[in-house]
Structure 1
Amino acid sequence: MNAEPAVQLRLLDLQAVDTSLNQLAHRRAHLPELAAIAAGTVRARELNDAVVDARTRLDDLAAEQRRLENDVETVRARTGRDEGRLQAGGLPSRELESLQHEIATLARRQSTLEDELLDVMEQAEEAQAELGAATERHEALLAEQATLVERRDAALAEIAAAIGEKTPERAAIAAELPAELVSLYEKARAHGGAGAALLRQRRCEACRIELSGSELSRVRTAAADEVVRCDNCRAILVRTAESGL
């Protein structure tokens, strides 16, 4: 294939735009905010589970506290009735002995219930503190996530704007070039990532490998309008006064 040296040189402008577009696409796919948001989402689920678990435990303890309080009140009421009967007097000795035994039993039961109630109240206090800490961590992470989303959206908007500027620029350059040359350029890009590269001091600027031997001889003897390609990366080699041929 043949193309005027000036036309081949224009390929470097096309390549420069494509390089910029590739960099923008890579930046868009690898924004640090994306990984941070993904990790934060996982952590947010964990913290939300911790909040739910703490709230569930607190609710269970509250229910247990209510049950114990009711039991204590029931025992107190029963003790009050028994003590009232005892103070009223006039009871047979056997019934009096049974009543005294029941009052003693109720006293022990009340003491046990009150100990259990105190323990549950202490657990509830701890659970409330755990819930508060878990909620605070969760809310802080959500706020951080919101900030990351804002930064991500701003970066994506900036990248989209840059792509929006570069895309018509690329189309304009490609429209200036022969279709056959652009097709060859695209094939080279598909092969090695670079469609065209400057040959500087016998080195391909795409793969950074210096030409030597038969390859160097081939390029050196090629006509100025002949389109030559790098044997290593297959990029179109654009020759200039810097090529060192």
Structure 2
Amino acid sequence: MKADPAVQRRLLDLATVDAELARVTHRRRTLPEIAEITEAEQQVRAKQDALVAVETMLTDLDRDVKRQETEIDQVRARGERDRKLLQSGSVGAKQLTDLEHELATIQRRQGILEDDLLELMERREAVDADASFARVELDKARATLKDAAGRRDQALADLEATESRRTADRSTMAKGFPDDLLKAYDRQREQRGIGAAPFQSRRCGACRIELDSGAVSKLKEAAADEIVRCDECGAILVRIAEPRA
């Protein structure tokens, strides 16, 4: 296969564009924000679970407090009824004794219930503080996730703009190559990642291997318009003139 040396040199410009497009593809897959988002999402889920757990505990305590308050109200009402009977003077001696005993029992029961209620209220206050803390932590986790997602979206938009611009450049540049040369270049690029590279100072610019004397002599003897390849990696080699001493 033959091509004008100037056309061959333009392959290096095309390779530069393709390298940038490859970097865009690689960066899109490996954005650090992607890992940050994964970690942030896990944190949000963990914080949500923690909040649900503490809010469930708070709901249970609210129910217990309400039940305790209801029982205390019932005990107070019963005690109030007994006191009214005692004050009415309408009961006999035996019933009076029974009422006094029952009232004393009710008062002790009311004291126990009120102590239990106080303990429940203290526990609820502590759990309510835990719930407030859990909400703050969840808000922080969500903010971290939002920030990472915003930076990811901006990075992706930048990459998209670069890719769009360089893809258009490539399309324009590709029109300047013979079909057979472009196909050979693209096939090599798809197989090995680099389609064409400079050959200078005995070294292939694609695989970075220094060629042996035989390969170097063969390349130097090839006509300037001859398409030559690296024996090691197969890349099309664009011969660059050695600087004069």
Q: What is the TM-score with the length of structure 1 in the denominator?
A: 0.91
Residue 16 of structure 1: aligned partner? 16
1:186 aligns with 2:186: yes
Question: For residues 141-186 of structure 1, what are the alpha-carbon distances to aligned partners after superposition, in whole Å with 9 as ceiling and x for unaligned?
Answer: 2223223332222222222111121111111111101111111111
- In 2, are the aligned partners of 1:58 and 1:128 still within 8 Å (CA)? yes
**Aligned counterparts, 1:130-169, within 5 A:** 130-169=130-169
Give the stretch that moved more between structures: 158-167 or 174-183. Answer: 158-167
Deviation at 1:89, TM superposition (A): 4.1
Question: For residues 114-157 of structure 1, what are the alpha-carbon distances to aligned partners after superposition, in whole Å with 9 as ceiling and x for unaligned?
Answer: 12211111111111111111111112222232233322222222
Deviation at 1:72, TM superposition (A): 0.8
Question: For residues 83-116 of structure 1, what are the alpha-carbon distances to aligned partners after superposition, in whole Å with 9 as ceiling and x for unaligned?
Answer: 3323444544443333233223222221221122
SS of the aligned residue for 2:175 comes to helix
SS of the aligned residue for 2:85 comes to helix
In 2: Cα distance, 1:123 partner to 1:243 partner: 84
Residue 80 of structure 1: aligned partner? 80
Give the stretch that moved more between structures: 42-51 or 119-128. Answer: 42-51
Q: Cα distance 1:102–1:214, how it changes in 2: closer, same or farther (>3 A)?
A: farther
Residue 29 of structure 1: aligned partner? 29
Give the stretch that moved more between structures: 30-39 or 196-205. Answer: 30-39
What letter is aligned with 1:212? D
**Aligned counterparts, 1:105-120, within 5 A:** 105-120=105-120
Q: What CA RMSD, in Å, does the superposition of the two structures yield over aligned residues?
A: 2.0
Give the stretch that moved more between structures: 33-42 or 166-175. Answer: 33-42
What letter is aligned with 1:61? L
SS of the aligned residue for 1:232 comes to coil
Q: Cα distance 1:232–1:106, how it changes in 2: closer, same or farther (>3 A)?
A: farther
What letter is aligned with 2:63? A
SS of the aligned residue for 1:207 comes to coil
Residue 95 of structure 2: aligned partner? 95
In 2: Cα distance, 1:27 partner to 1:152 partner: 11
Residue 222 of structure 2: aligned partner? 222
Instruction: Extract unaligned runs of 5+ from structure 1.
Output: none
In 2: Cα distance, 1:210 partner to 1:199 partner: 10
1:241 aligns with 2:205: no
Q: What is the TM-score with the length of structure 2 in the denominator?
A: 0.91
In 1: Cα distance, 2:68 partner to 2:165 partner: 72
SS of the aligned residue for 1:198 comes to strand
Q: Cα distance 1:60–1:14, how it changes in 2: closer, same or farther (>3 A)?
A: same
The alignment covers a number of residue pairs equal to 244
Residue 121 of structure 1: aligned partner? 121
Deviation at 1:213, TM superposition (A): 4.5
Deviation at 1:29, TM superposition (A): 2.1
- In 2, are the aligned partners of 1:185 and 1:196 still within 8 Å (CA)? yes
In 2: Cα distance, 1:138 partner to 1:36 partner: 16
1:170 aligns with 2:190: no
1:5 aligns with 2:5: yes
Give the stretch that moved more between structures: 192-201 or 213-222. Answer: 213-222
In 1: Cα distance, 2:178 partner to 2:232 partner: 25
What letter is aligned with 1:40? A
